[in-house]
Amino acid sequence: MRNFLDMDSPLMLFLGRIADLMILNIVFVISCIPILTIGPALTALHYVTLKMSDNRESHIIRSYFRSFRQNFRQALVIWLIMLLFAWVLWFDISNVWGSAGTIPMLVQFFSIVALIGYIMELLYVFPVLAQFNNTVVGTLRSAFGLALSSFARTFSMFMLIFACAALTFYTVNTFKYCSFLWLTLGFSSIAYANSFLLKKTFARYIPQTDEPDSSEQSDT
């Protein structure tokens, strides 16, 4: 029993990880309240969870806000670009969906292709920004290249998020319970799970022009 409750036992390490993810999730949710800061918040979230996946994180809040500050400008610009692109996609799909004719069908087809590309970009762009120094354009380009180069992992990441979202909206009761989980553990847990896939992708496909993030270097 004493070994079971030892600080280095699997149970205590697991409970400690859950506590870390809960703290990280709460900080993330709070910093997302101004919608414009969602980009920097996502960048900081992935910065911490990628370090957690390597067991290199001991200061959750300090590391989170270090990444939040250092990547704020680029993350904000990228987030605004993603919001603009999402609005264009929504406008195109809502105006031509269900319309007859060759041109509307072509627009629908290209809108679906663009939506898939958008999702792939969104899955990678903030983790890439969290880990590597680059320009805004370079970060967007690298993220899309990584998503394509490791499509199986990209699909797995998407399916995890999709399954959690589908379960949340399955019934009124699941929405109530899952909403609580999203606020306390959901975002950080998904980012942590996906960080293991991202880490493998980064190790194999990162372009030679990218350099390790300065915040990463200063924290090791």
SS3 for the chain, per residue? CCCCCCCCCHHHHHHHHHHHHHHHHHHHHHHCCCHHHHHHHHHHHHHHHHHHHCCCCCCHHHHHHHHHHHCHHHHHHHHHHHHHHHHHHHHHHHHHCCCCCHHHHHHHHHHHHHHHHHHHHHHHHHHHHHHEECCHHHHHHHHHHHHHHCHHHHHHHHHHHHHHHHHHCCCHHHHHHHHHHHHHHHHHHHHHHHHHHHHHHHHHHCCCCCEECHHHHHCC
Encoding tokens for residue 16?
A: 């400690």
Residue 207, phi-psi category: left (phi > 0), alpha (psi -120 to 50), beta (remainder) = beta
What pLDDT, on the 0 to 100 scale, is given for residue 35?
92
Q: How far apart are CA 77 and CA 100, in angstroms?
A: 37
The dihedral through the CA atoms of 87, 30, 46, 158 has a sign that is negative
Confidence of residue 211 (pLDDT cuts 50, 70, 90): very low
Q: Answer for the pair 159, 214: CB distance below 8 angstroms, yes or no.
A: no
The candidate with the shortest Cα–Cα distance to 132, out of 194, 196, 207, 58, is 207
The candidate with the shortest Cα–Cα distance to 72, out of 51, 42, 30, is 42
**pLDDT tens digits along 88-118:** 888 877 776 666 666 667 777 888 899 999 9
* Crossing angle between the packed helical segments 187-205 and 10-31, to the nearest 10 degrees: 100
What pLDDT, on the 0 to 100 scale, is given for residue 157?
97
What pLDDT, on the 0 to 100 scale, is given for residue 218?
39
**pLDDT tens digits along 4-58:** 556 667 778 888 899 999 999 999 999 999 899 999 999 999 999 999 998 877 6
